[in-house]
């Protein structure tokens, strides 16, 4: 399975990965509409961490032995049989946040309105090049 | 505080319909021009500090931004241009020399744009570079007058000891840009690209960081008046050594790397104390004559065991041909001449824009003088200062150069937008800066790829043009001014260039 690799030495903290991940998970998929017209606004499944001159973008690592999958009591958090990505079935999720508590990378976010969790990298649904990688202007994210 | 009379040089327009208040522009401008708000979806700009580097424009994900030169609104005046007023306002305010970066931007004639190339028709066939090989390999160094060839049975043996040569796959070298004036990542991009493309880059006068010693075979190291970072291993690791007497952007004056830029790595590379100013004196204090230069050339040759060529770099000044002749006689294997449009990390604007002569004229005169004196083969001619395209390269070679240096063009390849603020150390493109937030904006993997592409594209174009002329090796074009014709030049200019006017036949 391919993974998104983080090259923090080249991350410029522009957050274009966040912006484009949001657009990818919006209704229209159009950047201006996603920000200006859609309500509620979609949110990114990647987060740029910054301190001093260090920055990097982190998203779900799709761990081999994923603690979130192990700890999910409803089976909402599961491993996709086809491409081995860790995905969350929003229908099954009851919002207990066990996954959030067990994720060692802190990359699962709560969807505040419904109390359900939803915000998690889905590798853009199995495309050849995930959107955050494609839009990183400095190749600080690579898919290999 | 008295109000400044300076006004913004650029106008920033943000299309409200498009701006999504993502603050990418805010985060990208090292000059703090844009300001976002935590509570509201608005971004505003303070134009005074904008330098027009276009970084924010390039990264804005919705194309909401335009940064344009601001119309000054002064009453039109053919004598007093806005740059004069601006300069006076600034100097009346600060009392200091105006500093700038990059090469001269004044509208002096660019002779490359007045020279046209020849092509074959009927009487001589052109060559298709896709079907037949066209040779671009170039060797820089002293060429022998004659070869002593001895026959051992049927096989010839060359007895003459050949002078060391630099072999280039394309006749383009990255010119001297020190680690200090440019970032580590920028230097790494140049070094890696030089290695991949089969050419060289030049360390500049800042010494060589230990990380770049493995690239030595593709690096020309410089010995300048400050002698920063010069030691035995530095000389020996390189492919060639260049003594820098002058630089096209600031002939006759030295250099100054402010202490703030002398970081730990740079102090280590230059072998000077942390945060101390690195001052290169205007002259070499041990060179006051051609004889003195000869002594340094041979001291270096001794140090490197006569195994590598030694170059001497001078700026194109009025008496350049006679000086170059002296330099050749001083034993230089390569003479580098840098014209008035050559770039720099920092120079007084008045010097950059008013001292020196265009490289085209200097090159034509030097080549001719060395030929007349019968010493052209003693040294190769490497020229610098204003090469912008493959057409400029091929015209330079037809005019007499062996190869060219590109500095600005390489930086543009890396993303430079010629904002001329290199001296501020706040290059938004991560090139002319040491600020760790900015330097990582240049990913050397991308940089290397872009530079290799650039050289590859130029090589293709040069081959196309050579093929069109019916010439199958760049060597055969060198100094062949019959392949050049001038348009829009005076008789005097044509005669200095040694080129006939367009329309004149053989
Ligand atoms: S791979 Fe797709 S879903 Fe995951 S963080 Fe990147 S853009 Fe978002
Ligand atoms: S797009 Fe790339 S450089 Fe920008 S914040 Fe994300 S990972 Fe860093
Ligand atoms: S980068 Fe473009 S869209 Fe984002 S805040 Fe700036 S102008 Fe607006
Ligand atoms: S200085 Fe450069 S990045 Fe800053 S506003 Fe001007 S053009 Fe944009
Ligand atoms: S190197 Fe940087 S600071 Fe210098 S002109 Fe280019 S973009 Fe501007």
> Is the separation of the CB atoms in B207 and B237 below 8 Å?
no
Cite the beta strand spans of B289-395 per DSSP E: 310-315, 334-338, 347-348, 380-384
Percentages of chain B per state (helix, strand, coil), in multiples of 5: 35, 15, 45
- What are the sequence ranges of the domains in chain B? 10-96, 138-501
Residue B169, pLDDT above cutoff 90: yes
Give CATH for domain A62-120.
Answer: 3.30.70.20
Q: Which residues of A touch B (CB under 8 A)?
A: 7, 9-16, 19-20, 31-32, 35-36, 53, 135, 137-140
- Contact at CB, A31 and B20, closer than 8 angstroms: yes
Say which of A14, A31, A32 has its CB closest to residue B27.
A14
Ligand 4 in reach of B420 Cβ (< 6 A): no
Give CATH for domain A1-59+127-144.
Answer: 3.30.70.20
Predicted pLDDT of residue A118: 56
Predicted pLDDT of residue A91: 84
How far apart, in whole angstroms, are the C-alpha atoms of residue B11 and residue B479? 47
B446: CA distance to ligand 3 center in Å? 24
Ligand sitting nearest the alpha carbon of A59 = 1
Q: What does the pLDDT average to over B265-282?
A: 88
* C-alpha distances in Å from residue B210, one per residue of B171, B178, B269, B278: 27, 14, 7, 19
Atom of ligand 3 nearest to the CA of B20: 3
Q: Rounded to a whole number, what is the distance in Å from the CA of A11 to chain B's nearest CA?
A: 7
- In 3-state terms, what secondary structure has residue B21? coil
Atom of ligand 2 nearest to the CA of A6: 7
How far apart, in whole angstroms, are the C-alpha atoms of residue A32 and residue B467? 50
pLDDT band at A83 (very low <50, low <70, confident <90, very high): confident
- What are the sequence ranges of the domains in chain A? 1-59+127-144, 62-120
Predicted pLDDT of residue A117: 65
Predicted pLDDT of residue B73: 82
Residue B355, pLDDT above cutoff 80: yes
- Of A138 and A93, the one with more pLDDT: A138
Q: Rounded to a whole number, what is the distance in Å from the CA of B193 to chain A's nearest CA?
A: 18
- Contact at CB, B20 and A139, closer than 8 angstroms: no
- Of B427 and A125, the one with more pLDDT: B427
**ipTM for the predicted complex:** 0.93
DSSP for B178-233, please give it.
Answer: -BTTB-HHHHHHHHHHHHHHT--EE-TTS---GGGGGGGGGEEEEE-TT-TT--HH
Residues of A in contact with B446 (CB under 8 A): 138-139
Omega cis (within 30) before B411: no
Say which of A10, A20, A32 has its CB closest to residue B440.
A10
Q: Enter the tokens of residue B181.
A: 């004036």
What digits encode the pLDDT tens for the residues A96-113? 889 999 999 989 988 766
Bridge partners (DSSP) of residue A58 are A47
| Topology, domain B10-96 | Alpha-Beta Plaits (3.30.70)
| Topology, domain B138-501 | TIM Barrel (3.20.20)
Bridge partners (DSSP) of residue B485 are B116, B500
Residue A12, pLDDT above cutoff 90: yes
Helices B290-303, B320-329: axis angle to 10 degrees equals 40
How many A×B Cβ pairs under 8 Å? 50
Q: Model-level pTM?
A: 0.95
- Contact at CB, A138 and B441, closer than 8 angstroms: yes
Ligand sitting nearest the alpha carbon of B18 = 3
What digits encode the pLDDT tens for the residues B280-338? 898 999 999 999 999 999 999 999 999 999 999 999 999 999 999 999 999 999 999 99
> Is the separation of the CB atoms in A123 and A62 below 8 Å?
yes
Closest among A33, A38, A45 to A124, alpha carbons compared: A45
Which residue from A3, A18, A46 has its CB within 8 A of the most atoms of ligand 1, so it is best to mutate?
Answer: A46
């Amino acid at each position: 399975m391919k993974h998104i690799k983080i090259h923090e030495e080249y991350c410029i903290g522009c957050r274009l990965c966040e912006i484009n991940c949001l657009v990818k998970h919006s209704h229209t998929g159009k950047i201006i509409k996603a920000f200006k017209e859609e309500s509620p606004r979609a949110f990114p499944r990647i987060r740029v961490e910054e301190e001093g001159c260090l920055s990097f973008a982190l998203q779900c690592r799709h761990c081999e032995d994923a603690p979130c999958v192990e700890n999910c009591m409803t089976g909402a958090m599961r491993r996709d049989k086809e491409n081995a990505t860790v995905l969350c079935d929003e229908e099954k999720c009851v919002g207990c946040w066990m996954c959030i508590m067990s994720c060692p990378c802190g990359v699962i976010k709560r969807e505040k309105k419904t109390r359900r969790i939803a915000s998690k990298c889905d590798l853009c649904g199995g495309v050849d090049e995930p959107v955050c990688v494609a839009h990183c202007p400095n190749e600080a994210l690579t898919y290999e | 505080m008295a109000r400044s009379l300076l006004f913004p040089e650029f106008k920033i327009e943000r299309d409200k319909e498009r701006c999504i208040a993502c603050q990418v522009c805010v985060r990208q401008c090292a000059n703090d021009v844009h300001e976002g708000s935590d509570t509201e979806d608005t971004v505003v700009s303070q134009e005074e500090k904008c330098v027009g580097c276009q970084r924010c424009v390039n990264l804005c994900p919705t194309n909401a931004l335009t940064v344009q030169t601001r119309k000054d609104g002064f009453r039109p005046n053919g004598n007093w241009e806005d740059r004069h007023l601006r300069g006076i306002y600034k100097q009346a305010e600060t009392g200091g020399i105006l500093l700038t970066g990059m090469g001269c931007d004044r509208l002096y004639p660019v002779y490359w744009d007045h020279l046209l190339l020849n092509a074959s028709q009927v009487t001589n066939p052109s060559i298709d570079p896709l079907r037949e090989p066209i040779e671009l390999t170039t060797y820089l160094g002293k060429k022998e007058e004659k070869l002593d060839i001895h026959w051992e049975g049927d096989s010839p043996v060359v007895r003459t000891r050949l002078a060391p040569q630099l072999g280039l796959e394309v006749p383009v070298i990255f010119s001297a840009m020190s680690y200090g004036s440019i970032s580590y990542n920028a230097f790494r991009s140049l070094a890696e690209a030089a290695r991949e493309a089969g050419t060289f880059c030049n360390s500049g006068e800042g010494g060589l960081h230990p990380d770049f010693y493995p690239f030595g075979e593709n690096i020309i190291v410089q010995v300048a008046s400050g002698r920063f970072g010069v030691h035995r291993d530095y000389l020996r690791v390189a492919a060639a050594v260049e003594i820098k007497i002058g630089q096209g952007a600031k002939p006759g004056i030295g250099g100054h790397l402010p202490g703030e830029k002398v970081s730990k790595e740079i102090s280590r590379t230059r072998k000077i104390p942390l945060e101390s100013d690195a001052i290169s004196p205007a002259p070499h204090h041990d060179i006051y004559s051609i004889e003195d230069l000869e002594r340094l050339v041979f001291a270096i040759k001794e140090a490197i065991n006569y195994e590598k060529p030694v170059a001497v770099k001078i700026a194109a000044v009025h008496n350049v041909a006679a000086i170059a002749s002296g330099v050749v006689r001083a034993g230089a294997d390569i003479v580098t001449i840098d014209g008035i449009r050559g770039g720099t990390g920092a120079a007084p604007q008045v010097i950059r824009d008013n001292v020196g002569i265009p490289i085209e004229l200097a090159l034509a005169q030097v080549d001719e003088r060395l030929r007349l004196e019968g010493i052209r083969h003693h040294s190769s001619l490497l020229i610098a200062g204003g090469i912008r395209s493959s057409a400029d390269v091929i015209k330079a070679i037809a005019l007499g150069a062996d190869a060219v240096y590109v500095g600005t063009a390489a930086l543009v390849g890396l993303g430079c937008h010629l904002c001329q603020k290199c001296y501020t150390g706040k290059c938004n493109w991560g090139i002319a800066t040491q600020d760790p937030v900015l330097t990582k904006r240049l990913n050397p993997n991308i940089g290397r790829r872009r530079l290799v592409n650039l050289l590859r594209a130029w090589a293709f174009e040069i081959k196309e043009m050579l093929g069109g002329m019916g010439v199958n090796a760049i060597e055969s074009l060198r100094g062949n001014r019959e392949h050049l014709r001038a348009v829009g030049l005076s008789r005097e200019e044509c005669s200095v260039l040694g080129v006939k006017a367009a329309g004149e036949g053989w």
